[in-house]
Amino acid sequence: MTDRLFLGIDGGGTTSRARLTDAAGARLGEGLAGSSNLNLGIAPAADAILTATRAALADAGLTETALSRITAGFGLAGANVGALHDALLAHPFPFAGVALASDAATACLGAHGGTAGAILVIGTGSQGQILTDAGEEKAIGGWGFELSDGGSGARLGQQAIRTAILAYDGLAAASPFTDALLARFGGTPAGAAVWGKTATPRDYGAFVPLLLDHATVGDPVATALLADGAAEVAGLLYRLVDLGAEKIALMGGLARVYPPLLPDDLTARLVRPQGDAMDGALILARRKAAA
């Protein structure tokens, strides 16, 4: 069917990006919306997906009447959790078909053109993924920054505000960075404590630009926090190597931050991604349509 359309959604903890193509693979339009992290709820994720889709349709000069012609592939944060995966697939999307995987899985497909390889996505969250020559998929991390997601923006932000509060109480060293971070909450932990009751991974990740700015000028606390993040990233990469990864693509908003801080034996394995997570989601969609 030449009128068939394919949609790829990359849904992380901060934004949802949509890419629409025709049956020949020509790019028609793209769209953007808020987070579609399944850990934050199925309904908000579905709303973000549809908002990004409508934006992509508008960019392509199409109306919502085209929705039923779309086979969609979603790569979403939290889709590695079985109950969330099943709940999202049960949602009544207006598409011809839907395929779902974690954002790390679709990033891996995109990075290596659908062939074997490994990736480590480091954005608001973090997750490693490896696709073997035998077609087996293995994942590490991605369980949420409270328990997992080493080196991620949310985890860096969480550790940053925790360190700033410890410094305020005299339990850790203070620095211009900890002072600047607490200044966002009136200079004391009280405002941060209230904020923390409802803070999302994206909220914590919003502290990362401030941390990077201070680390660049040698702030000791910011530098130490970034080094801790790099150590967590190195641990994830070594685990991917243990699982058989020979070449690993770093992806996500922090992918350019960590390589200078990694050991040489790891940087030697890093490769440039062939495509992005939306490309991987489109591969997922095409496989769904062909099944």
The tens digit of pLDDT for each residue in 234-244 reads 999 999 999 99
3-class secondary structure, 11 = strand
In the chain, where the domains are located: 5-113+274-290, 153-271
Question: How high is the pLDDT of residue 83?
Answer: 96
Q: What is the CATH number of domain 5-113+274-290?
A: 3.30.420.40
Same fold for the domain at 5-113+274-290 and the one at 153-271?
Answer: yes
Q: Write the CA distances from 209 to 142, 157, 248, integer angstroms.
A: 22, 10, 25
- What is the distance between the alpha carbons of residues 55 and 288, in angstroms, rounded to a whole number? 23
Q: pTM here?
A: 0.77
Does domain 153-271 fall into CATH 3.40.50.1820?
A: no
Strand order in the sheet with 27-34: 27-34, 15-22, 5-11, 70-76, 97-102
Region label for 266, one of left (φ > 0), alpha (ψ between -120 and 50) or beta (otherwise): alpha
Region of residue 192 (left: phi > 0; alpha: psi -120 to 50; beta: else): alpha
Task: Give me the pLDDT at residue 119, please.
Answer: 95
Find out whether 284 and 6 touch, Cβ atoms under 8 Å.
Answer: no
- In sequence order, the 6+-apart residues with CB closer than 8 A to the CB of 231 are none
pLDDT in tens, 45-82: 999 999 999 999 999 999 999 999 999 999 998 898 89
